[in-house]
Structure 1
Amino acid sequence: MRFHSRLLRALLLSALTWATVTASHAQSGEGPLRIVVGFPAGGSADTIARLLADKLRLDFQRPVLVDNRPGAGGRIAAMALKGLPRDGSVVMLAPDALVTTNPLVFRKPGYEVADLVPISLVAEFAFAFATGAETGAKSFPEYVAWARANRPRADFGSPAPGSPLHFIGLMVGKDIGVDLVHVPFQGGPPLLTAMIGGHVSAGINTLTDMLEMHRNGRVRILAVPGSTRDPRIPDVPTFSELGFKQVVARGFFGLYAPAGTSAASVERWNAAMRRVLVLPEVRQRLGELAFDPKPSSPEELAKKAKDETAIWAPVIKASGFSMD
């Protein structure tokens, strides 16, 4: 009986100690951190988030988890972020569209740009215009000739309606004098499948998603809308070189916290990102994925979003496009 009493006291003491330690960890902020991603596992955004999580874990000396909340081009994650803790334990990796074109094409996107507190620019990336099996074009002038001769079949796909990629296609169509019909897809993989199968004559996507298929000959990248040629495909011209000076665009990923997160927490994340994004192994891996790491201050990220919005606003207004 005395043994059972001692055992009971030991168990109670152990439980009390565990509870005290757990409460202490919670109060001192030693639990896991989270990076919310609005896209499925395996995609480019998820790949970047997991690369960052692996390095930030060492920097913060805390677990860093990737929380995938896919859907609606990242809007579901942005809407979810509003209800998540504001104690510095949660951030979101988001593409440019969430803070540039989405607020211009959705009257009710489900969130406000003000709901997303800028932390740091993460990476910039190139876009690419490519064709698949249908046209047989090996250069952009050849594609233009095909499109002008086959206007009813001249269309283009993008991974999401209302994205910068969508509006790049409209700009290209306007400049070549062909009313290219937009065909929206739910992500890059279905678009590539349609291009390879000849179900859509052209596609505009991130260079990241197009690069491998271009290298193995399944699709052919004809032009990039960057200000300079991309070093990963140096033989592919820019639209500016081809005479289309207005078709210039690049995308970016940024890191954001929920509104209400303290300035100290934002600064802690920003400092960690500045350290992680200059690591040689991180820069190498991002480069292999066709991303260019670009750490920044919160103010620089906010300004970039504002400047990009100003660029896209007249393009979107002229198109008359709206999602609701």
Structure 2
Amino acid sequence: MIRHILLSATLAVSAGGALAQPPQYPAKPIRLVVPFSSGSATDILARIVGNKLGESGRYQMIVENRPGAGGTLGAGLVAKAAPDGYTLILVSVGHAINATLYPKLSYDTVKDFAPVTLVATVPNVLVVNSASKLGSVKDVVAAAKAKPGTMNFDSAGSGSSTHLSGELFKMEAGVDIAHIPYKGTGEALTDVMAGRVDLMFAPTVSAMPFVRQGKLKALAVTTPKRATALPDIPTVAESGLPGYAFESWFGVLAPAGTPKEIVAALNGEIAKALAAPEVRERLSAQGAEARTSTPQEFERYIKAEIAKLAPVVRQSGVQAGQ
């Protein structure tokens, strides 16, 4: 009995103070917060990954939607949660955008979270009406420079990835194209198809069906490499703007202070789930590509995204709540 107690004490000390970590993690279901509404791209992705993790019977994920304020309400909730590995959040590129977009957040975008892993990237695709005379990125740039301020592009809302990918395009190309914010991707795409708006940098998951139906014409994807879902469509970079790259991405964060052992365990299990062929197929069907990382790589990635997108947010003039 005494020997058992001494052994337990030794193990507790060697844990480096991480006494909050249970002997066997996880010992109960894990709450995965989605800071957007049900049916959103983030929500769909969370449920695909969460369901796969649950198949083992050990990692039960309960997806909880906490939408509001561009994802900042859910992020604030997780930032203040107990760092025990039982509350996580699946964030999007909006997490990096919000660091500049919102002048006063209830949390620090970097310091208040422990990165776990990247999960997926989703390209936006530059689309125009199927009857448009614009057939390439070079055509868009030439037309915009010929008549500055007369062309327009729409988005799913001010400060969204569909907005900022267009603003980055303007910066890299040195053109003046007016932005028209909508309240969602569907409405924005409808007006491009109807010819009321010149172009849009739309999520592949939303635009692909219309491209395949011939209602939209895809000119280029925004990611550094061609999209698996649209292999014949060139990137913006290879179409004449070599400095351009914009990725919509998703990744898992835990509250700061979560024990490294738990973060490592989560990282390994999520990577295993994303390696499954059926998961990759489901992601591909959504226009997404599985992409994992180490916690350290994800932290560097978030910092780089904040630094990259900050000047785009500032130059666009967008303000939170617009």
Aligned to 1:92: 89
The structure number with the bigger radius of gyration is 1
The answer to whether 1:111 aligns with 2:95 is no
Say whether the 8 Å CA contact 1:102–1:163 is kept in structure 2: no
Q: State, as a whole percentage, how many aligned pairs show the same letter.
A: 31
Cα-Cα RMSD: 2.8
- Counterpart of 2:53 in structure 1 is 56
2:192, 2:200 within 8 Å by CA — same for their partners in 1?
Answer: yes
Is the Cα contact below 8 Å between 2:136 and 2:239 reproduced in 1? no
Q: How does 1:1-324 map to 2 (within 5 A)?
A: 30-59=27-56, 61-98=58-95, 100-113=96-109, 114-132=111-129, 135=132, 137-144=134-141, 146-147=143-144, 153-176=150-173, 178-323=175-320
201-210 vs 290-299, which deviates more?
201-210
From the superposition, tell whether residues 110 and 135 of structure 1 become closer, same or farther in structure 2 (CA, over 3 Å). farther
AA matched with 1:251: S
Counterpart position of 1:16: none
Where does the alignment leave 5 or more consecutive residues of structure 2 unmatched? 1-21
Most deviating of 193-202 and 291-300:
193-202
Take 1:83 and 1:97, find their aligned partners in 2: how far apart are those partners? 19
TM-score normalised according to structure 2 size: 0.81
Question: CA 1:73–1:187 in 2, change beyond 3 Å: closer, same or farther?
Answer: farther
Give how far 1:175 is off: 4.9
Render the CA deviation track for 1:211-250: whole Å, top value 9, x for unaligned: 2221112222211223333232233222222222222222
Q: Determine if contact 1:153/1:201 at 8 Å carries over to the other structure.
A: no
Cα pair distance change 1:261/1:286, threshold 3 Å: same
Q: 2 CA distance for matches of 1:183 and 1:222?
A: 20
**Partners in 2 of 1:73 and 1:230 — Cα distance?**
26
Tell me which protein shows more helix as a share of its residues: 1
Distance 1:212 1:320 in 2: 32
**Offset at 1:176?**
4.8
Distance in 2 separating the partners of 1:88 and 1:175: 41
SS at 1:248's partner residue?
A: coil
**Partner residue of 1:6?**
none
Confirm or deny: 8 A CA contact 2:127 2:219 kept in the other structure. Answer: yes
Q: Do 1:38 and 1:94's aligned partners in 2 also have CA atoms closer than 8 Å?
A: yes
Give 1:146 deviation, angstroms.
4.9
State the distance in 2 between where 1:281 and 1:68 align: 25
Q: Which runs of 5+ in 1 are unaligned?
A: 1-24
Counterpart-to-counterpart distance in 2, 1:156 and 1:192:
10
Q: TM-score, normalised by structure 1?
A: 0.81
Distance 1:256 1:281, change over 3 A: same
Q: Does the CA-based 8 Å contact 1:130-1:202 persist in structure 2? A: yes
